[in-house]
């Protein structure tokens, strides 16, 4: 069973993998690079990744994926569209779907993915990542809003990996109780909440020092790497230390 409860038939030996998720692509490249044969255009790590590109996470080239004859296709319930996943399965491909909303779920999901979907041992970086996140936060807590888009303004809401990462670092998302995972919120309301921090990642919207902070006068803004904040892969090893530094 994958993370969504779907039974996936995996061959005894996995030699060809296509990844439709940037963080999973980086995970494969760091663990079984010889097996990775395809990835999306958004898969930016490692920088020297040399595999067939199959367009984006939301519009994958299904025929190109089929031509690669993968033993397994790696996907994610949030990042990839159900119709694309079903179309690949209907054509006979084994699609393993991850579903990750917390740091602990990331560790458990990745461990199962390597063992079951990739037929390989868990890598050393996964153990190091667990250790890096082991110590609980014992300092003062702060509140935050986490915009991920503008025009319209959208923020991180309930049940997200990003929210759990910040919570573990002493930062509580003011929209964690919202009914939506990524609600659209008027800018005036965001400013009225008066959070201790406005967390501005560089993905999916690329907030920069000159594009984002000016919308929150009088508030402290923290510009963060989206990879550290939202990816579950080798970046988890360095993420706690680097995010604490960036959050101030």
Q: What is the pLDDT of residues 112-122, one digit of tens each?
A: 999 999 999 99
What rounded mean pLDDT belongs to the chain? Answer: 97
Q: Residue 12 falls within a domain, yes or no?
A: no
Identify the pLDDT of residue 86: 98
Identify the pLDDT of residue 146: 98
Give the pLDDT band (50/70/90) at residue 148.
Answer: very high
Residue 188 DSSP label: H
Does one domain contain both 176 and 115? no
User: 158-180: string of b/e by CB count within 10 Å (b at 16+)?
Assistant: bebbbbbbbbbbbbebbbbebee
Identify the pLDDT of residue 139: 92
Does one domain contain both 60 and 118? yes
Sign of CA dihedral 40, 145, 233, 238: positive
Give the pLDDT band (50/70/90) at residue 104.
Answer: very high
Which residue range(s) make up the domain with 164?
142-247
Identify the pLDDT of residue 174: 98
Does one domain contain both 214 and 149? yes
User: Residues 15-31: pLDDT tens digits?
Assistant: 999 999 999 999 999 99
Mean pLDDT of 146-172: 98
Q: Residue 202 falls within a domain, yes or no?
A: yes
Q: Residue 68 falls within a domain, yes or no?
A: yes
Could you give the C-alpha distances from 51 to 16, 240, 246, in angstroms and in order?
11, 30, 33
Distance CA 199, CA 244 (A): 12
CATH number at residue 101: 3.40.50.1980
Does one domain contain both 93 and 31? yes
Does one domain contain both 117 and 151? no
Count how many domains the chain has: 2
Cβ neighbors of 111 (< 8 A, separation 6 or more) are 122, 126
The number of beta carbons lying within 10 Å of the beta carbon of residue 233 is 25
Q: Residue 243 falls within a domain, yes or no?
A: yes
First to last CA, the chain: 41
pTM for the model:
0.94
Reference 85, options 69, 64, 62, 103; nearest CA is 62
Q: Residue 3 falls within a domain, yes or no?
A: no
Q: Residue 135 falls within a domain, yes or no?
A: no
| Percentage of residues of the chain with pLDDT beyond 70 | 100
What is the dihedral angle through the alpha carbons of 20, 24, 26, 27, rounded to the nearest 10 degrees?
A: -150
Q: Residue 96 falls within a domain, yes or no?
A: yes
Identify the pLDDT of residue 42: 95
Q: Residue 189 falls within a domain, yes or no?
A: yes
Distance CA 18, CA 201 (A): 27
């Amino acid at each position: 069973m994958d993370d969504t409860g779907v039974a996936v038939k995996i061959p005894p030996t996995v030699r060809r993998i296509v990844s439709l998720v940037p963080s999973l692509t980086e995970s494969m490249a760091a663990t079984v690079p010889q097996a990775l044969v395809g990835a999306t255009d958004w898969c930016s790590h490692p920088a020297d990744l040399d595999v067939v590109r199959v367009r984006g996470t939301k519009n994958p080239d299904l025929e190109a994926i089929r031509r690669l004859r993968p033993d397994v296709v790696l996907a994610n319930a949030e990042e990839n569209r159900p119709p694309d996943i079903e179309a690949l399965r209907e054509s006979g491909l084994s699609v393993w779907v991850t579903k990750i909303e917390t740091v602990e779920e990331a560790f458990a999901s990745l461990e199962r993915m390597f063992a079951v979907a990739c037929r390989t041992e868990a890598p050393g970086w996964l153990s190091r990542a667990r250790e890096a996140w082991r110590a609980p936060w014992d300092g003062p807590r702060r509140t935050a809003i986490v915009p991920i888009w503008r025009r319209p303004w959208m923020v991180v809401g309930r049940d997200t990996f990003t929210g759990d990462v910040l919570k573990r670092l002493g930062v509580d998302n003011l929209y964690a109780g919202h009914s939506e995972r990524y609600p659209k919120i008027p800018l005036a309301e965001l400013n009225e909440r008066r959070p201790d921090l406005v967390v501005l990642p560089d993905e999916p919207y690329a907030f920069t020092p000159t594009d984002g902070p000016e919308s929150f006068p009088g508030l402290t803004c923290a510009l963060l790497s989206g990879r550290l904040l939202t990816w579950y892969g080798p970046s988890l090893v360095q993420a706690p230390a680097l995010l604490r530094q960036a959050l101030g």
